[in-house]
Amino acid sequence: MIIYVFKRDPVLDSSNRNIIPNAAVIIEKIDPKTDVVTYSVNKRANGFFDVIQMFTHEDGTINYLNAVGYKGTYTDALSHTVYVVHAIHEDKGIQIILDTTTETFPAIDNEFLQVLKSIRN
């Protein structure tokens, strides 16, 4: 398993906290016979976020064909809004997680959507 984490410059929230939106890419070897729906169901079984919306290449949110994505929320010390994409490329399962606090999400959403659109086959 390989994990890449990218952090953006902070965004100031209403409490003057520097919130650092981040992106994580997790790549792991999987059985090449695994389809993206099965992969996604298995990854979502940990239940780290509640799904608000689901998206695929068919609605134009992402361009990657063998992928399914979700917009969701979870709470740790603060409420967070995330985009999570599960994708397959040959024998690799890929998870992409774009995460920020729910309060700062409106300021970051367009950037996150641009990242999602940039993921290509």
Indicate the average pLDDT of the chain.
Answer: 95
Please compute the mean of the pLDDT values over residues 20-37 and round it to a whole number.
96
pLDDT at position 120 is 82
* Helix H or strand E segment including 21: none
**Domain region containing 74:** 2-118
Domains: count for the chain = 1
Residue 19 has pLDDT above 90, yes or no: yes
Cα–Cα distance, 17 to 23 (Å, whole number): 19
Please compute the mean of the pLDDT values over residues 28-54 and round it to a whole number.
94
CATH number of the structural domain spanning residue 21: 3.40.1000.10
How large a percentage of the chain has pLDDT more than 90? 94
62-115 residue pLDDT tens: 999 999 999 999 999 999 999 999 999 999 999 999 999 999 999 999 999 999
pLDDT at position 43 is 94
Residue 47 has pLDDT above 90, yes or no: no
Residue 53, CA atoms < 13 Å, CB-side half-sphere = 8
Residue 46 has pLDDT above 90, yes or no: no
Residue 121 has pLDDT above 90, yes or no: no
Burial class (CB in 10 A: 0-12, 13-18, 19+), 98: buried
Cα–Cα distance, 90 to 95 (Å, whole number): 14
